[in-house]
Amino acid sequence: MPARDRVGHWGDESAEAALPGRRLSALAEQAARCTADCCGASSTVAEAGAERPAAVTHPDLAGLVAVQLRSGDGPIPAALERGEPVDSADLLHDERWPEYRALALDSGVRSSVTLPFRRSGLTVTLSLYSFRPGALDDAWHGPVHALGEFAASCLVRDRSYRAALTELDHLGAALRSRPVVDQACGIVMHVLGCDAEAAFGVLRRISQGTNRKLADVAAGVVSRRGRGLERDLAALLN
């Protein structure tokens, strides 16, 4: 598949494709396919205060990712810390990362390279593995680098899209509650003889003081038509 077609695949706008796990799986699979002598790949995404999803092209590679994330030691943590590629040309003679190295060699992996791609507080890592030593020396050039850069951009865009949907949900809820809030304000204005701004301030103070949603407070005022609330409302007006 040409590189531009692989990038086009990543541009899929469907909700399912926008899930972080699906994005990472697509990145790992495409990177492994376009890299000579690569026996598999893994990808992760790291963001402050968030979970760290990961994807692998083969079940045996899941352990290699897990041991690094658990111990904080290995090519992935090193790439996240440095912000630059971390490779091992031959794990048989590499004395770094003992847990990762032992597990990799037990799986037949002799060399690996991990590439980080940073965008807007988010870092995607792409790790490539080979059964042969020195087989991935030039792996971060060409299509793999383009795939990683585009994957990071897509994940940032997905994050913005999810944030926009959340904001729209909140806006929709606010719009749906607006009629009952307006009605409650009218009742408070009538009971207290105040203007709309003061009436809304009373409802907001009740909401903050009772840790209840403004719409719920308004619904309570409307259901009682303000009866029995005169003294409490007047106290909040001052």
Nearest Cα residue to 109 out of 77, 87, 78, 85: 87
Task: Give 13: exposed, middle or buried? Use CB within 10 Å, 0-12, 13-18, 19+.
Answer: exposed
Does the pLDDT at position 68 exceed 80? Answer: yes
The rounded mean pLDDT for the chain is 82
Q: pLDDT tens for residues 217-232?
A: 888 888 877 666 666 6
Tally of helices (H runs) and strands (E runs) in the chain = 9, 5
pTM for this predicted structure: 0.65
The distance between the two most distant Cα atoms of the chain, rounded to a whole number of Å, is 84
Q: How confident is the model at residue 174, as a pLDDT?
A: 60
Does the pLDDT at position 188 exceed 80? Answer: yes
Does the pLDDT at position 163 exceed 90? Answer: no
Q: pLDDT tens for residues 8-66?
A: 444 444 444 457 788 899 999 999 999 989 999 999 998 766 667 899 999 999 999 99
Higher pLDDT, 199 or 42: 42
Q: How confident is the model at residue 94, as a pLDDT?
A: 93
Q: How confident is the model at residue 236, as a pLDDT?
A: 59
Does the pLDDT at position 138 exceed 50? Answer: yes
- Average pLDDT for 140-158: 86
Residue with tokens 């697509």: 26
Q: pLDDT tens for residues 164-180?
A: 666 666 666 665 667 88
- Average pLDDT for 142-160: 86
Tokens of 12: 């899929």
DSSP state of 117: E
At residue 101, the 3 state secondary structure works out as helix
- Contacts of 205 by beta carbon, 8 Å cutoff, 6+ apart: 236
Does the pLDDT at position 70 exceed 80? Answer: yes
